Amino acid sequence: MNKVWCVLVVAGGVAALLGDGGAGAAAQLLQSGQGAVELMLVLAGSMVLWSGVMEILNRTGDVERLGRLLARVLSPLFGGLKDGECWSAMGMNIAANVLGLGNAATPAGIRAAQLLEKQGEAGLRALAMLLVMNNSGLQLLPTTVMTLRSAAGAANPADVWLPGLLASGAATVCGLVLMGLINRGGLRRG
């Protein structure tokens, strides 16, 4: 892959030099670098805000309460997992993902994976279910997407909310149904 990338970069450089002597390419390179830094600052502000909110919720014990609530609601999906610490980590991870805060969800997801690994086969099945939920992308409030759309100058950054909710909701339902079939042995292996 490194060779392919190098060939593409060299070919692009040669094309830029042959096209206009490289002056336009140099200007575009500087302009896109400036745009990347500006976008990074916008996203960093959003991530800091929401990561701070998640940390406040964690310190006030609201994440534990959320974990207990999720344990009641989602326990059928997770095979009767009883460990409260696992549920707290999963609760924080699921809450951050549902709020569209993927970066804030990562540490809790890693912690949940570490804790679930110690729970044996039930924990591994729960981890697989958690991964399906994370990767299906269900977001009630897609904050990162709306921040990116706002930074790009969208007239209404929230226009993607309903289509995104419907698509990610359908993906989540399909993923959960398939995991339920797999966990019950409904799909044959090999």
Q: How far apart are CA 78 and CA 56, in angstroms?
A: 27
The whole-chain average pLDDT of the chain stands at 82
Q: Rounded distance, CA 112 to CA 126, Å?
A: 10
CB 181, CB 187: distance < 8 Å: yes
At residue 7, φ and ψ (nearest 5 deg) are: -60, -45
Return the C-alpha torsion angle 175, 178, 184, 188, nearest 10.
-140
151-182 pLDDT, tens digit each: 888 999 999 999 989 999 999 999 989 988 88
CA-CA distance, 57 to 96, in Å (whole number)? 11
- pTM attached to this predicted model: 0.68
Tokens 């399909």 belong to which residue? 174
Task: Give the rounded percent of residues in the chain with a pLDDT score beyond 70.
Answer: 93
139-176 burial, b at 16+ Cβ within 10 Å, e below that, comes to: bebbbbbbbbbebeeeeebeebbeebeeebeeebeebb
* CB half-sphere exposure, 159, CA atoms < 13 A: 8
Whose structure tokens read 């706002």? 150
pLDDT digits (tens, 9 = 90+) for 108-120: 899 999 999 998 8
With 80 as the cut, is the pLDDT of residue 70 above it? no
Write down the pLDDT at residue 121.
83
Whether the pLDDT of residue 52 is over 80: the answer is yes
pLDDT of residue 167: 92
Count of alpha carbons within 13 angstroms of residue 21, beta-carbon side:
1
